[in-house]
Amino acid sequence: MSARGQSGQAAVETALILPLFLFMVLGTLQLFLMLQARLMVEHAAFTATRTGSLSQGSCTRMKHAALLTLLPTFTAITGHGDPASRLVDAFGAHRANRYQPLRDAKHDGDIVWLFREVPGARRTAGTDEDDGFDDPDEQETLTLETRLVFWYPMRIPFANWVIARLVVAAWGGRRYEGVGPLAPTQTQSWGAVNRPVDAQVFNALQTRTGAPASTYVFPIQASAAMRMLTSPRLGRGFIFRGVCR
C-alpha cells in the first residue's frame, strides 16, 4: 500500500475512534464530578434537615443551609482575596435559589428543590405552633424527613450533551433517533427504561435540557431524617408537609 493510501486509512480510523475516545475521557471526568456532587447533596440534605429541626422547619433557613453546602459544586469560591468575603459574595449571588447565567456558565432556574415529607400539618387550636410535637403517641411529629433535589449543572463539553440526551430519552422523554454521537457512522435509537424520578422532577428536566434553554442539568436526589428539636410551626416561611422553593 502506498504512503498516500496508508495516510488515508489512518485518517478514516482516527475519525471513527476519536469521538468514542473523546467521550471516554470527558465522560469519565464528568461522571467523577457528578459523584462528588452526589456526596455533597447527601451532606446538604443532612444539613438542611438539621437546620429545620432547630428552627421549627423554616423553609428559608433550610434552603440557605443546603445552598451553602452545595456552593463549591457549581461556583468558584477560591482565588485571590479573603476566603470569607468570596464565600459571602457567592452565597449572596445565589441566596434566592437561582442560578446566575453570567456567573454560572449560562445556567438558569432553581438550584435546589426541598421537599418536606414529614411531619404533617397538625397544630393546636388557637396557635401557630404544635405544642404536642414531642408527644410520644404522635410519632410522625417527632421526625423531620426531607428530600433534596439538586439541579446539578453539567459543564464538561460534549459529555454534558450526550449524558443529558441519553438520560431524557432513557427516562421516557424525547426519544433520540439520529446520528450516533459516539459512532457517527451509525444511527442511534435510545429508548425508555424505568424512570427513577417523579413526574414533577422529570418534567422540569425535559424543560431545562430542551430548546431554547438547552442547559444541561442532572437532578441528584438525597433524603435525610432527624428528630425535631423545636415545635413545627405554620405561617410565612414555615411549612409542614410540602415543597420549599
Q: Which pLDDT band holds residue 125 (cuts at 50, 70, 90)?
A: very low
Residue-level pLDDT at 124: 44
**What's the whole-number mean pLDDT along residues 31-54?**
95
**What pTM was computed for the model?**
0.83
What angle separates helix 59-74 from helix 83-94, to the nearest 10 degrees?
A: 120
- Which residues, listed in sequence order, are joined to residue 233 by a DSSP beta bridge? 129
Among 125-129, 206-210, 226-230, where is mean pLDDT lowest?
125-129
4 vs 95, residue with greater confidence: 95
pLDDT band at 110 (very low <50, low <70, confident <90, very high): very high
| CA atoms of 134 and 71, how far apart (whole Å) | 34
What pLDDT score does 126 carry?
A: 44
Instruction: Say how many C-beta atoms besides its own lie within 10 A of residue 92's C-beta.
Output: 9
Query: For the residues 187-208, what does the mean pLDDT come to?
Result: 79
Position with higher pLDDT, 117 vs 183: 117
pLDDT given at position 225: 93
Closest CA relative to residue 242, chosen from 57, 101, 50, 30: 57
DSSP E strand boundaries for 87-236 = 112-118, 143-153, 176-179, 187-190, 217-227
Amino acid making up residue 208: R
pLDDT tens-digit readout, 127-139 = 555 556 666 665 5
Sequence spans of domains, the chain: 3-244
In angstroms, the Cα distances linking 135 to 139, 152, 231 are 7, 39, 11
pLDDT (tens digit per residue) in 64-102: 999 999 999 998 877 677 878 888 899 999 999 999 988
Q: What mean pLDDT is reported for the chain?
A: 81
Q: Which residue has the higher pLDDT, 190 or 148?
A: 148
- Cα(99)–Cα(96) distance, rounded to whole angstroms? 9
* Residue 129, pLDDT score: 56
CA 54/CA 145 separation, integer angstroms: 13
Which one-letter DSSP state was computed for residue 158?
A: T
Instruction: Choose among 111, 88, 87, 112: nearest CA to 99.
Output: 111
What does the pLDDT average to over 105-127?
Answer: 74
Nearest CA to 144 out of 240, 74, 14 is that of 240
Interval 106-135 mean pLDDT: 70
Task: Write the secondary structure of 95-124 as one string of H (helix), E (strand) and C (coil).
Answer: CCCECCCCCCCCCCCECEEEEEEECCCCCC
